[in-house]
Structure 1
Amino acid sequence: MRPVLLIDDEYLVRERLKRGVDWASYGFRIAGEAENGEDGLALLEEMEIDLAVIDINMPIIDGLEFARIAGERYPGMKMVFLTGYGTFDYAQAALRAGARDYLLKPIDMNGFKPLLAKLAAELQAEADSRAIQRQAMWQLQESYAIMRERWIRQWLEGSVLWDAESFAKFCPRLPALGRYAVLAVSADAGSEGEDSLEREEDQGRVGDQRRADDQGRASEPQLSARCREVDELLSALAAAWPSSEEVEEAAGGKRIVVAALESGGGDEDALARLCEERLAVSREAGRGSVTIGMSEPFEDPDRASAAAREAAEALSYRTLRGEGRLLRHGGLSARPQTADWMAVRERLLILLRLGNGKTVANAIDEWLADCRRTDASMEQLFILIGEIAAALRLHAAENRCDADGILPASLQPAALVDRLARFETIREWLQSRAESVLERVASVRRRPTSLLVEKAKNHIDREFADPELDLNGIAGTIAVNPSYLSRVFKQETGYSVVEYVTLCRMTRAKEMLDSGVRNLTYVSEAVGYADALYFSKLFKKQFGVPPSHFAIRTP
């Protein structure tokens, strides 16, 4: 219903207007009434009025003066005058004051009702016209926003050539010539990676990469909260560094900012300090964690795509270097690596064949910790994850079972790291996959020969430190022919009985050396070797380095 204001100093006239017309049938309602123009103006400040019915002759502020003031302040409001003067001069004055029409007193309701119908139609037509204009303006703005985002994305992807006209149109806050830097900004996953892991555990561990990716996505409330955190940070950055343009990445949810350097208030170091200051403010305010990756500065607009890749790469290093900070591409150079990640597959296969889940989990934890401790590159982390996954698949295949439903059919380490994000979640994911593979392998080892070999392995696991332990003794313990045991043991494990005994002894020796034991004679005897020299020879053959390497290492 459209609101109506009645202004007349005669109470009876106002009552006749209210009661003599079915206002609702014309789409109107009486929203207020006043005795003079001054009170009427006061009501207009408090409520929105579409139609005012006004007496010309009133005290304090008359109808003509009211119309002049109201017409300036509220040009969309319709006004109809009431007057007891039928002269042409009064009619002209009313129309000049902005009246849509005027009625003579006493009011003829039969003449007033058609006027209301006409006014209702005019107001509806004007409202429709305004709606069309707003829609057209919104579509124009939306079209510009879509074209702007598309052009900036394509420019940063390198799929369109830079040109001055498009740059000026879509990046008006950036100077045409200058130095720039690209920022990649993203809210950190927080507990979402753990939630994703728990969902995988509860739902039976998916093997299809697409389903795994779907499970890894944050819920709508989580995404909304993360967007707010980034929005707040970017708003503060834009206020302090106005010479910048921001766009949302088409996939992945990262926000990309192109900032002008000198014209933005300083060089790249000044921009870096501002980013660090805003991150500190966000942390102190207790907001969610946000990480920023920053590219090297560049001048050539055609190098923008390379800078965008640098910023994204810097951002990805939050997995190794930590979240909630600024990561500059120029400071990401990894230190030389001492670990041989390519040997992980062979080493993990050995541990998997031993069948000790705790030892496997500890090894994965050790490799990942070493990767982080030595400032490895992301590529080295990807290699490590790939080698661990390959070892798990090989171990499953060796035991005539597969890893479907445990590992994706085509594992992409980079996509996995991007999905799980947090270092701790990646470690838990790998350890849980290893545990699942071991459980699956154990479930198929229930054939008579498998059970026999399992008994032999259990005996060896308990007694490997006995210097007298040999094939005959082991076979006698489980009441089986030594030759038969040797054959089925090799078939089931890939090792001979002697090789498995040696493997158990070497694994235990390395654990002792890693824990700080430095007396090689003591270690040798503790794992079943009276001859320390022979022990050292076997140890070097197994691990590629002599045990003395651990003995002289700083604890």
Structure 2
Amino acid sequence: MYKVFLVDDEIVVREGIRTSFPWDSSGFVLAGEAPDGEIALSLLREIKPDILITDIRMPFMDGLALSREALAFMPSLKIIILSGYDEFTYAREALTLGVKEYLLKPVSAQELENALRRVSLQIDEDRRLHADLQAVRKQLELSSGLMKEQFLREVLQGIRDEEKRSNVFLNARKLDIELTKRYCRVMLISIRQTAPTDTLLPKALVTRVADSQPKGSVYLCQLDGLLAMLYLSDDAGVMEEQVFGVAGAIKHEAADLDLPAMHIAIGSQAGSIYQAPDSLASAFVTLKAMRGHMSEDSTSIMDNADTQAEMSEVISLADDASLYDRLRFAAVSDIGGVVNAFLSKDGVAQRSTLMLNYLLVESILTASRIIRENGGDPEKLLPHGMQDERGIALLTKPEDISKAAQGALTRALEFRDTQSLSRYSETIRQACSFIEDNYTDPNVSLSDAAASVHLSLNHFCTVFSQETGTTFIGYLTHLRLERAKQLLENTQMRSSEVALEVGYRDPHYFSYLFKKNSGLSPRDWRKERQVDGS
């Protein structure tokens, strides 16, 4: 059975599809419906349908905006667009979102069934592909030796448990791992991924190259979405040649086989295996520098010596897209949760001091970028000691690092908010004027309001809320209902006529909103005003 969700602001259309289509015998089930995109969005999160059928022109949130939002958290969702003849060109824009089917109103039961059948074939194919990928992944996990990988991850990240630490060499021998060498070094490999299968061949190449090395000198495991190689040797010079030889072999073979690009980051040389976390941390810092400076289209190599030479540039120029994207439109009150989640995600408590400092650098870089984007000078605005490595390195405890990160980000967001008060006041005033001029149009949407002042949807939502103290929907609803009250009190228009006059096609939905906001139905509200006025 395939679950279908229907969204259309016309009751007649929804009832027609609900009653005329043979749901019981078709293999499809109508799992839910909604009169507009905003209501639909919350229901979609709960129901998680396989197929979404949506009108393209609706109040509050149109079909394209709904499709975009729904695909963000349900990428496998299949979408069928309903469109009028005059909306054909607009409907075609939906193709860029991955919409495969659109139907022109009025829609017959046979047309709908044909479209659903075509979409169901795509769903079946996606499910088969997913099952195949799961089988391949399971086989790879079984063949790689899960216990050995887990042990290597613990060694690389630092064994905190005293009992495990005292038995580390005994446990290593049980897993056929030889750790009794004088030197160790860590290499991290990041594979550029644009599709689920992109990493399979690069991983196979790296595994083959690692297996070709002398027994007991190289161990491979997966770590936080990366490949980690642990090198062990009693001769530092031999290990140096081996590390760069392996890195070069991977780079050249990847180019010959036209594999996805890789970043190969080589950490610093360390002493005994207990110092492996320090080499891992320096490899992470090196990888960060590569992502900031090197091409994403070809495999590249950088070692810790190169990183140290360029560290000042990394601190001033590099940025972390993930932390930046989470915080550039966030409120100051969101900082604590975001920073703690970021630290927990990266397992900071299990890594070395250097790795903790690296994560703090991410916060400093993000804060600096936000300040610069808003016309400020990070050196003047950030806390003293946050502009160089020495000041950062003085912080060693996770709680101190979290506090410092939050302090820097708080300065940045407070500065951004101060700047935005003057910058966006006129912009939002223009947006409010646009809404006031167009609130009677049933099709006016959040996207329209954002476009009227040339802001992205997410940015507009954040700024509008900061400036007005309410959401776009809240502002629009308030305008419509206040106008509705005037019409109910001063005219003899029926409730359904008032609904249309203020921008609601569905009189039932209008009555629902009116009662929700005023506590009375439109009819009762009018009666109460008439009694008060008599």
Q: TM tier, shorter chain?
A: 0.3 to 0.5
Q: TM-score, normalised by structure 1?
A: 0.31
Q: Which has the larger radius of gyration?
A: 1
